[in-house]
Structure 1
Amino acid sequence: MSIVDRALNVKEQFLQELKELPYDTHSIKLFKDKYLGRKGLIADLFSSLKDETPQNRPNSGKVLNELRQFATREFEAKTVYIDNQNSKKNIGDHSLPEDPYLIGGIHPLTHTLNEINFIFTKLGFSTVYGPEVDTDFFNFEALNIPKHHPARDMQDTFYVKNGIVLRTHTSNTQIHTMLKNKPPIKIIAPGRVFRNEDISVRSYCLFHQVEGLYVDNNVSFSDLKGVLNYFAREMFGQSVKTRFRPSFFPFTEPSAEMDVSCIFCNQKGCNICKYEGWLEILGCGMVDPEVYKSVEYDYDKWSGYAFGMGIERIAMLKYGVKDIRLFYEGDVRFLGQFI
């Protein structure tokens, strides 16, 4: 049988087997080696060219080249078709939900705020919100911080224009609430605040606060300590200890700062608590009578307390985060730890 006849037989056999070729990788490899491999049927035909007569050899060589090109082209087209069919099989049911591990989670600051809200809601506090852009009166003057008061040097403010500022604390919400309502008042006021500070590991130009206010008859500092002690134990664990240190805030008198025992070293001393065994978490005090004058409350009849805490500060302590900037960078490697 001539090489041309053998080539025609190989071509027919190739097409028949290609048509019935299974879609698995092993079968495809065996098929390719059988026809297009270095020791395959087409290569075997080329090795027989040496036995052809000089007159027939050019034509036979042409037929074999065309056969090899045809087989290569048909095989590649078949493998592309097989890949497409396999891809369709792997697409799956579009009605099914996505992979649960790709679902986002609550931001750690939001989670911390929700936890704080839940704790104070159990104590009867209502949640109110105030404007982020406010007048100088609500942000400073009504809180016993008049113009040229030294206390204004404690915080760098973003001034907009004509006495309008980006609020430096959520205490402005307390003034709005007291002007619109008569006692008793028992609220917390969460929200964003802005200060013109350098961005660093410990500070940012914006952050979040929660202010608390309770005004009623015969409210005492003991009531304030009881509420904050309950909050600390709910937030950081029942074994946590607290202490109150005298401090100064223009809108409260007397004023104090509250510390909790270091939750990282159990008061043995570490770099987070600066080897003191205590962590500062908030400021508080009894509402100053001058604030009652601003909202036309009778300070002889009403008394109350206020407190304020930074949500970032609480989150950093609770989760052991050492850089406040991580909360704002949107890095999924960081945020994914809280899902």
Structure 2
Amino acid sequence: MYAFRTPALLQLLNVDPLLRTSATSYIHWRGATAWAAMAQNVCLSLFVVTRDVITPLKIISCAAVANVVGDALFCVWPIRGGCGGAAAATTCATLISSFWMVAALRKKQLLPCLRIPKKSELASLGEFTGPLLAITLTRMAGFLNMQRRAMTLGVTALAGYQLSMNLLIFFILFGEPLSQLGQTKLPGLIEDGNAKEAMATLKSILLLSVFAAVGVGAAACLTAFLGPGLFSSDLGVQAVAKGAAPMLFLAVAMTIMGIAIDGAMMASRDFGFMLGTGIVSFFVQAKLLKYCGSVQAILATFAVRLGSYTLFSIIRAFATNLRIRKTAKQTR
């Protein structure tokens, strides 16, 4: 799809013709190693399950350094490859980190043998992958709608939107440990029917997420307001990023809270609620996006979507005790 359908997809998305050549080059490079990026995510999850966060930290840190060096070589000098050069640098870093993770898993004797899974194994995996895939697609569709709306605002606004979204994606990564904490700590408590300990753990995670949301959100806001010149020399793009800074704070804060409760909802396997809430919030955001005339407004719809999901999920978690009673009953 990436190799042969990229131009058609860009046309379908109404991408500015001036941007299509650069966009096609970028997508071709990144699409060629999409498999490696997916493998890296799987390997990272294996490390987290075994509570080894130091090994992936070392690997990802080295890959990030390689990416920065690659950007300098492929974009600035001597190659000066533009968007394609940036994608090539990221591609090389992805390949390095992916193969390094596989080697580390093999060294720890955690790398499973590749084979065709049995029907029972596929059925067991399907209980998770089916709903999670639907949830992921719904969330990706929301990002796609935001991007399409930003494309109607002009090149400068689009660049400012992209800068803001890159900052958003970077800073919300700091909330991922909260999700992993819920996914590693809560399942055992839920399966044992230990409602008291599970809810105490959830309260601790939520309290941590509040401090993280405020701190990381403030860092994102200050970066967008004080440091847009680090990412773009265009004064118009800088002005867009500065104007979007307050909404970026709100979007990052709501997302980190959402990520934290997301881990608890996945631990309790409440996929139906997650999917239903995601679909409803998707359509609400899609409706609001029609009236957005600025990057700030687009980010506001994202904050509303994540904020509503977080609020309803917290209510659901405490109202049902993370579905512990039902799980304990099924276990017995």
TM-score bracket relative to the smaller structure: under 0.3
Higher relative contact order (CA 8 A, sep 6+): 2
Higher fraction of helix = 2
Q: TM-score, normalized by length of structure 1?
A: 0.20
Higher fraction of strand = 1
